[in-house]
Amino acid sequence: MSTPHPAPAALLFDLDGTLVDTAPDLARATNALRAHHGLPALPYPVIRAQVSNGGSALVELALGLARDTPGHAEARHFLLAAYGDDVAAESRVFAPLAPLLDAWETRGAAWGIVTNKPRAYAAPLVEALTLAPGALLCADDLPVKKPDPAPLLEAARRLGVTPSSCWYLGDHLRDIQAARAAGMPAVAVGWGYMEDGEDFRGWPADLWFETGEELVAALLTEGG
């Protein structure tokens, strides 16, 4: 499968919903919050669709508490504590991407992660999955986070590549916005955490991949 863009010198991934399927553990924490308030568990697909929107969105989903309303901060703390007890109980690298990373590293090519997940949860997750990114930029590493391009630019700097030679892959519109602002080819992926009716092909990306297999075929073919 060919693309209109040259093969990248480096890959940067969003974490949740792009590189790693973290929804099972975040769903566990969300339903733990529900149970704490005497509420029944929500169906997994309902929670999965909100995972990329962060802890506050999960609190609002679980309890109907909007941001900046009484009880929201306390509930968010409970949810994140429940999640932090084991961030990798069921989370796994999306299956097609594991061999991609192996092949990429065998070639000596650089890759990294840029996430809006706080380092307190992202770093233990990456360690538990024995991932070895050349750069890991988290929500609290810089004064700004995605869709600001600064974390992507810093990751490229740490990898020693120019932004234009680095693909950024994500499953959320803000990922695409950040990549375009950073001057990186923006790659939208269709296997992540999207709400019903959301069409990732409508995002202003440079490339779109429905499945991990399509991405792997394009990268390993174009990589030579």
Q: Which residues are catalytic?
A: 14, 16
How, if at all, do strands 92-93 and 166-170 pair? unpaired
Provide the 10 A C-beta neighbour count for residue 203.
19
Preceding omega of 147 cis (within 30 degrees of 0): yes
Distance CA 51, CA 195 (A): 10
Nearest to 9 by CA among 135, 180, 161, 218: 161
Report the distance separating Cα 9 and Cα 20, nearest Å.
22
Contact 55, 80 (CB under 8 A): yes
State in Å, rounded, how far the first CA of the chain is from the last one: 12
Among 187, 189, 197, 177, CA closest to 18 = 189
